[in-house]
Structure 1
Amino acid sequence: MGNFSVMIGFFIYLAGMLFLGIYLAKFNKTNEDFLLGGRRLSSWVLALSERASAESAWLLLGLTGAALTVGFGEIWTALGCIIGITFSWFFIAGQLRGEVGAQNALTIPDYFSEKFEQDGNSIRIISTAVILLAYFFYVAAQFNGAGKVLNVTFGIPKIWGIVIGTVVIVLYTMLGGFFAVAWTDVIQGIIMFFTLTILPIVGFIEIAKSSASVIAPMEAAGSELVSFLTEKPAGLQ
């Protein structure tokens, strides 16, 4: 019964994402609206959307799984991400936003081709190819993560989980454009935030109640798990 209730809740969530895409479609009057939300989305919406898109499956599944396998040493991955993201936001994003707006560019390839007019077409083609290549593997990993989650949670075959995730995301993106992507990401970002903050708190409370130890089982599994400077366990080399 519990698993059935979770499944119902999940499909209500998917229906909500599609409804949001349909509702926000009315705000798309121009290419700028569809591609950039008319450049009028708030900084909080953009920040939550950007982080929810960038982290998603790799954070909830990949990083947590790596931490379980590698131990405390995986903290360096998280630290590196935080430093890189902070640097991008404070030293690149603001200036890039100003220059893109001044050139009225709609995409990064547009921006580069306008900035370097002499080699504009070549730069547009190369930058587009780089983006497509990079995001091909990234998006594939996200869809793969969706398939794994649906398989583990509901017993849905992985391939059908990927199909469900792909269809829903493509539909609300095509319907609502960047408005839909940003606002659905906000909802997902809020869910991710509370998942990553509340669940550990609940877990530590339960551990405290049972007088169990977090460190002892890790030391028993291998001393490298409690070291911040260790390499991967021998079985993963």
Structure 2
Amino acid sequence: MSAFDLLVLFAYLGIMLFMGIRAMKTVKTEEDFILGGRSVSSFFVLLSIFASWTGLSGLFGTPQYVNVYGTAGGWWWFTFPLGVFIMGVTMAKLLRRRMYMTLPDIVDHNHTSKGVRIASSVVTVWNYLAWTAGQVAGIMLVISTFTNLEPVVAVIITYLVIITFTMLGGFRAVVHTDAFQAILFLVIIGVVIPVLIISRYELGDIWRETSKIDGFYSVFGNVPKGTMITWWLLAPAGFIDTMAFQRIFAAKDEKTAKKSIIKAFGMMIVFGLILIFLGLASKVILPADIDPANAMLLLVQKILPKGLLGLLIAALVGVAMSTASTTLLVCSATIEQDIFSVLCPGKTKSKLKMHRILVLIVGLLALTLALKVPSVTSILMYGYSVYVPGLLLPVIAGTFEWKIPDRYMLGTIICGAVSAMILILLGEPFPASLGGLLLSAVPFAIGLLRGRAEGMKRENA
């Protein structure tokens, strides 16, 4: 890596810090810090949603799985945004109208149950702590692949920049940097790299070589059934994605909230097709004995000319920064609003100061986790495998105001999350997320029936 490329990377980090300092001047209240004052325009909501969804797990994982399984590997990318799209079409306007601030606001829509609020908060924080750690692990992979820098030291410096601009500027800093980062990696990864591949290699050759592989272009290909089930369970994870909820809550109005989700989904479809193309190209351009997990990195390393490497690293780091800054904010807001304020009401004189302290604490925890478990996709799977069974049904019930007694709502969260965690610890003899979801449906169904029965009694009284 040349000195110029390093200069580009450091300049990029400097821009991120500058944007955080600039955004800090507009942060006066807790709502400013968490949701940008609920006045974020369609342009920034759209690019922020897209940037936050495009984590390194999707960016690296999609070409990896396409390289291994064929075009069916693209389901790794598409299932999550599909869930968010369905949520946006069915729920976005309703959620924006209610002026919620966090996901536990949805689950505990009556604002009466400390147990339900705290349980939903713990599951949410664990999931997005895992998301944050996954991005740190991805940054380390990028740095170790493309530079001669000490990976641990470099990732610590980079991650401290993420923590700092998030602490300073809150959500305003996040959406502004998201927009900048989205444009950068859309240009480099979505345009420059595909154009270079097309200019250097015959598309016909790529097609002929890959079509010789049995099932390479089938809908579900050679993906093992258990793996495909796990991928499809990312759709309900998208349906209750707190990062998307955060943008819905922050949008300037209901119309902006819904339209931004729909437009971001369209962008995800197009970008996903580009990633599938990169996976197909890697199968032909790269040696057969490579580690598929490194397909994306090895391909761009081979394709990009010198001088653009610094921009590429900045783009890849930007992908991670977009997701990590968002998940940091989600965790800190949930801890302050739904755990600390519930357990210690009235004890915090400056909530804004507390949010910033929590961003720092959560950030350091995520960094520690990433250094202990350095795998982007595995960290992510640990998070969402507990998140979906714990909160999918409670979020649906809260959104549509189904009457479920608190003890059954709490039982649904605990049963789903704990059973999924047990299956993970046992090595997943049955898909953890699916198993936890099925078991969580038992107390949920009982609670739904009890709630309706109690409602009928009140009406007849």
Q: Secondary structure at the match of 1:223?
A: coil
Alignment match, 1:94:
93
The CA deviation string for residues 100-133 of structure 1, in whole angstroms up to 9 with x for no partner, is x2xxx432224544x22332x1222012111111
* Matched-pair contact (CA < 8 Å) for 2:23–2:169: yes
* Matched-pair contact (CA < 8 Å) for 1:151–1:161: no
Alignment match, 1:23:
22
* Distance in 2 between residues matched to 1:107 and 1:229, nearest whole Å: 36
Alignment match, 1:190:
183
* Distance in 1 between residues matched to 2:133 and 2:121, nearest whole Å: 18
Alignment match, 2:326:
none
Alignment match, 1:225:
216
Q: Which has the higher contact order (CA 8 A, sep 6+)?
A: 1
Q: Secondary structure at the match of 2:216?
A: helix
Larger mean Cα displacement after TM superposition, 169-178 or 65-74: 65-74
> What runs of 5+ residues in structure 1 fail to find an aligned partner?
none
1:156 Cα deviation from its structure 2 partner: 2.5
Structure (1/2) with the larger helix percentage: 1
1:75 Cα deviation from its structure 2 partner: 2.6
| Aligned pairs for 1:151-162 within 5 A | 151-162=144-155
Alignment match, 1:117:
111
Please point out which of 198, 207, 217 is paired with 1:215: 207
* Matched-pair contact (CA < 8 Å) for 1:148–1:161: no
Alignment match, 2:102:
107
Q: Does 1:66 find its partner at 2:80? A: no
> What runs of 5+ residues in structure 2 fail to find an aligned partner?
225-290, 293-461
Amino acid at match of 1:108: L
* Distance in 2 between residues matched to 1:60 and 1:133, nearest whole Å: 22
* Matched-pair contact (CA < 8 Å) for 1:49–1:185: yes
* Distance in 1 between residues matched to 2:26 and 2:85, nearest whole Å: 31
Alignment match, 2:162:
169
Q: Secondary structure at the match of 1:228?
A: coil
* Distance in 2 between residues matched to 1:42 and 1:80, nearest whole Å: 27
The CA deviation string for residues 175-228 of structure 1, in whole angstroms up to 9 with x for no partner, is 1111011111111111222234212133123224xx7611233356x4343433
Amino acid at match of 1:218: T
* Matched-pair contact (CA < 8 Å) for 2:62–2:74: no
Amino acid at match of 1:89: G
Alignment match, 1:141:
134
The CA deviation string for residues 70-127 of structure 1, in whole angstroms up to 9 with x for no partner, is 221113333323422321222222211111x2xxx432224544x22332x1222012
Amino acid at match of 1:200: P
How many positions carry a matched residue from both structures? 225
Larger mean Cα displacement after TM superposition, 37-46 or 21-30: 37-46
Amino acid at match of 1:228: V
Relative to structure 1, the CA distance from residue 224 to residue 152 in structure 2 (aligned partners, 3 Å threshold; closer, same or farther) is: same
Q: TM-score if structure 2 supplies the norm length?
A: 0.45
* Distance in 1 between residues matched to 2:8 and 2:132, nearest whole Å: 25
* Distance in 1 between residues matched to 2:61 and 2:69, nearest whole Å: 12
Q: Does 1:178 find its partner at 2:171? A: yes
The CA deviation string for residues 9-52 of structure 1, in whole angstroms up to 9 with x for no partner, is 01100000001001110000000101110111112211211221
* Matched-pair contact (CA < 8 Å) for 1:3–1:154: no
CA RMSD of aligned residues (A): 2.4
The CA deviation string for residues 136-185 of structure 1, in whole angstroms up to 9 with x for no partner, is 21111111001111111112233224312320110000011110111111
* Matched-pair contact (CA < 8 Å) for 1:52–1:185: yes
Relative to structure 1, the CA distance from residue 95 to residue 195 in structure 2 (aligned partners, 3 Å threshold; closer, same or farther) is: farther
Alignment match, 1:203:
197
* Matched-pair contact (CA < 8 Å) for 1:53–1:185: yes
* Distance in 2 between residues matched to 1:77 and 1:111, nearest whole Å: 28
* Matched-pair contact (CA < 8 Å) for 2:32–2:171: yes
* Matched-pair contact (CA < 8 Å) for 2:35–2:101: yes
* Distance in 2 between residues matched to 1:16 and 1:39, nearest whole Å: 25
Relative to structure 1, the CA distance from residue 82 to residue 196 in structure 2 (aligned partners, 3 Å threshold; closer, same or farther) is: farther
Relative to structure 1, the CA distance from residue 196 to residue 91 in structure 2 (aligned partners, 3 Å threshold; closer, same or farther) is: farther
Q: TM-score if structure 1 supplies the norm length?
A: 0.85
* Matched-pair contact (CA < 8 Å) for 1:75–1:228: no
* Distance in 2 between residues matched to 1:131 and 1:51, nearest whole Å: 21
Please point out which of 107, 117, 129 is paired with 2:122: 129
Q: Secondary structure at the match of 2:28?
A: coil
